[in-house]
Amino acid sequence: MTLDTVKHAAETPEADQPWAELGLKSDEYARVREILGRRPTGAELAMYSVMWSEHCSYKSSKVHLRQFGQKVPANDAMLVGIGENAGVVDVGQGFAVTFKVESHNHPSYVEPYQGAATGVGGIVRDIIAMGARPVAVVDPLRFGAAEHPDTKRVLPGVVAGIGGYGNCLGLPNIGGERRHRRRLHPGLGNLRRRQTLEAPRRPGRRPLPGEAPHRVHPGGVRREAGRGHPGSRRGGSVVCDQ
């Protein structure tokens, strides 16, 4: 077995590669070759397929999502806006709040328990990344038709995954709801989470815009990914188009 090193890739430009199986389009694969000046190694191809996937890059929806940053009204309350891990909103008296909203449609469809669990983990990570402490979660869930077999497959694992990860972190779930909508792709729901947080500024952390040197700062953001549509959610290498 030949190790597919950079040198080997440069010496074998015509070697067949599974770019389509990994979810890349022909023009994307051509762009990868253009960037590298050669064909990618197997490892590089796998990394490009993940980082350029819908799940990681929002390639089909970022043209719409960027409008949140372009059209937001100017105001003094928005301390950190879109583009960061989480935004920070000043609520007065030296405090700010963070709301993190995330959908985990594709991962929860592919592997319900782990997909939902990592959805909770992702928002916790983003809030902590802003130097704040998560204090609670809220779990509104959206699924397709209740009687659809995929809904029955996905729902129990999603609920268990949310509880498993959240309980391990000791975060109280202060509310939740579940709704079924036939217009959603069968069985593929919008998995949303929201967190608020409150934490003092860490010693040595760079002050946020407008922050006083010793201001108590409970972080703040709100962000939401797209809704579930047939074939529109690609994470890693799989498109769910049943």
Task: Judge whether 64 counts as a catalytic residue.
Answer: no
User: Phi and psi for 174 in degrees, rounded to 5?
Assistant: -95, 5
Which of 8, 55, 148, 180 does the annotation list as catalytic?
A: 55
Task: Judge whether 180 counts as a catalytic residue.
Answer: no
Which of 64, 104, 148, 229 does the annotation list as catalytic?
A: 104
Q: In this structure, are strands 173-180 and 134-143 parallel, antiparallel, or unpaired? A: parallel
Q: Which long-range contacts link 41-48 to residues 24+ away (Cβ below 8 Å)?
A: 41/4, 41/5, 41/6, 41/8, 41/9, 42/4, 42/17, 43/4, 44/9, 45/17, 45/18, 45/19, 46/22, 48/24
| Residue with token string 């709100």 | 222
Q: Which residues are catalytic?
A: 55, 104
